[in-house]
Amino acid sequence: MLRHAIVAVLAAAGVACAMSDEDLGAMTRTDQDLTRANLLFEGTCDFLRSCSSSSRGVAAPDVVWGCEGQGPCSDDEPWVAAPRNGALGLSQTGLCGRRVRFCNGSKCIVAKVRDRSTSSDKFEASEGTMRALGLTAGLTARCTGYGSGRVTIEVLP
């Protein structure tokens, strides 16, 4: 509706415009579509197979994903776990399977929501996601790790 109103106003004013629907969509984004948050390191696939109660004992390369069930896991792939309380107007279940863009300054990556975080309000990311964003992450012991960073998050259509 807003897109049509913008086009109508421009047309009435005699303004020629070569804006695409995508450009107009970008103009109508709200703070709820794009927000800043802390991103945590979830761990490596090996970490999940050793330390996650649902994936413990699952044969490599698989883990048990909170959104997808049992399936392959790669540390290099961009995947994330959705916060328990959801985010950006969506429930945790509503985020499952969605693509989410994370940016740290000019470094951005699109990751798929494959898992469910135990954190109430933070996304957790794969090693590949953290690396692509230039965020330091790693394991300090068998079932403990580190890594976080302040990022911009946007759920994609």
The pLDDT value recorded for residue 30 is 43
Q: How confident is the model at residue 139 (pLDDT cuts 50, 70, 90)?
A: very high
Cβ contacts of residue 89 below 8 Å, gap of 6+? 32
Q: How confident is the model at residue 142 (pLDDT cuts 50, 70, 90)?
A: confident
The pLDDT value recorded for residue 88 is 87
Alpha helices by DSSP H, 65-156: 92-95, 127-132
What are the tokens at 101? 């863009």
The pLDDT value recorded for residue 12 is 36
**b/e code 106-132 from CB counts within 10 Å (16+ = b):** eeebebbbbbbbebeebbbbbbbbbbb
Predicted confidence (pLDDT) per residue in 119-138, tens digit: 999 999 999 999 999 999 99
Q: Of all residues in the chain, what percent carry a pLDDT higher than 90?
A: 75
Predicted confidence (pLDDT) per residue in 79-116, tens digit: 999 999 999 899 999 999 999 999 999 999 999 999 99
Q: How confident is the model at residue 146 (pLDDT cuts 50, 70, 90)?
A: very high
First CA to last CA across the chain, in angstroms? 18
Predicted confidence (pLDDT) per residue in 13-32, tens digit: 343 333 333 333 333 444 44
Q: Any idea which residue has 């494959």 for tokens?
A: 114
pTM for this model (two decimals)? 0.78
- The domains of the chain, with CATH numbers, are 1-29 (no CATH), 31-155 (2.40.40.10)
Cβ-count burial of 135 within 10 angstroms (0-12 exposed, 13-18 middle, 19+ buried)?
Answer: buried
- Residues 58 and 47: beta-carbon distance below 8 Å: no
Amino acid type, 22: E
- Round the average pLDDT of the chain to a whole number and report it: 83
Tell me: pLDDT of 34 over 70: no
